[in-house]
Amino acid sequence: MWLDNASREVVERFWRRCGEIEPFPRNLERSISLALPLTLVKLPHLKLHGIESWLEYRGASFHFNCRSRAVRGCIIAYGGQGLIFVDGADPDDERGFTVAHEVGHFLVDYLLVRETALSKFGQKIIEVLDGLRLPSVTERVHALLIGTPLGVYTDLMERDEASTLSRSGVWEIEDRADRVALALLAPPEEVLSEANTSAASFEQREALMVSTLIDRFGLPRAVAIPYSRALLESIERGPSWVESLGLK
């Protein structure tokens, strides 16, 4: 299964909260404003110290526990709300995937586990989740089991992360945020219904799929290439054993 049940549910709930389905290609900006307590901030040539300065100027004291460096994107969440920072100088396609990636983290790694903790302990757990009091032994053990982030939640998308995806293959990576991002921007069932997968050779099928993912769904090439291979393999239209050996 491409998405686990919990991730599939958060994607479906995202669109229900929107009240409308965004047409392709999607940048998610309007949809986020309708569905989630998230604010999108675009800063040119995004660096960690730039994010810290932006927050400090607005009266929020926050510091990353690492040296400043350039990043594609970042999410900071607290109190059930969040800020997504993206590099405003990036091309539209790369910036769009960064936004979707960080939304995936907010939905799956922050909001979902927060809601799970609330359903387990009730409203009293909010003070623990927001770092306002220490958890009891029972709460601490349960938080470890479900991976609930306590206090401020952050995630960084590094500058070279897209090339990492290209090497490892989007489909197989364990990070559910990438799968959620793809489900939001280019759902596999939509892609497969529009792409031409009938070409005789895998090279031709892959080229057509990549073209569809870029032109119709707006994905960056570094993501479209491994995703296209994964989609073709999922419908048994991947490379033949002869093509895999480079004999054809």
In tens, the pLDDT along 101-158 reads 999 999 988 888 888 888 888 888 888 887 778 877 777 777 665 666 778 888 888 7
Q: How far apart are CA 55 and CA 44, in angstroms?
A: 15
Top pLDDT among 243 and 133 is at 133
The answer to whether 45 and 134 have CB atoms below 8 angstroms apart is no
One-character DSSP codes across the chain: --S-HHHHHHHHHHHHHHTSPPPSSP--HHHHHHHSSEEEEEETT-BHHHHHHHHHHTT-----SS---BEEEEEEEETTEEEEEEETTS-HHHHHHHHHHHHHIIIIIIIHHHHHHHHHH-GGGHHHHTTSSPPPHHHHHHHHHHT---S-EEEEEETTHHHHHHHH-GGG-S-HHHHHHHHHHS-HHHHHHHS----SSHHHHHHHHHHHHHHTT---HHHHHHHHHHHHHHTT-S--HHHHTT--
Mean per-residue pLDDT over the chain, rounded: 86
Per-residue model confidence (pLDDT) at position 173: 39
Pairing verdict, β 81-87 and 153-158: unpaired
Quick check: 1 pLDDT over 70? no
Mean pLDDT of 5-11: 88
pLDDT score, position 170: 47
Express each pLDDT in 47-95 by its tens digit. 999 999 999 999 888 888 888 899 999 999 998 899 999 999 999 999 9
Count CA within 13 A, CB hemisphere, residue 33. 6
Q: Which two tokens stand for residue 172?
A: 């197989």
pLDDT bucket at 184, cuts 50 / 70 / 90: very high
pLDDT at residue 116 in the model: 83
Q: Which tokens hold the place of 9? A: 């549910």
**Whether residue 28 has pLDDT greater than 60:** yes
- Is residue 246 very low, low, confident or very high in pLDDT (cuts 50, 70, 90)? low
* 71-78 and 38-43 beta bridge pairing: unpaired
Residue position matching structure tokens 């892959």? 206
Q: How many CB atoms lie within 10 A of CB 20?
A: 10
The Cα–Cα gap between 97 and 89 comes to: 14
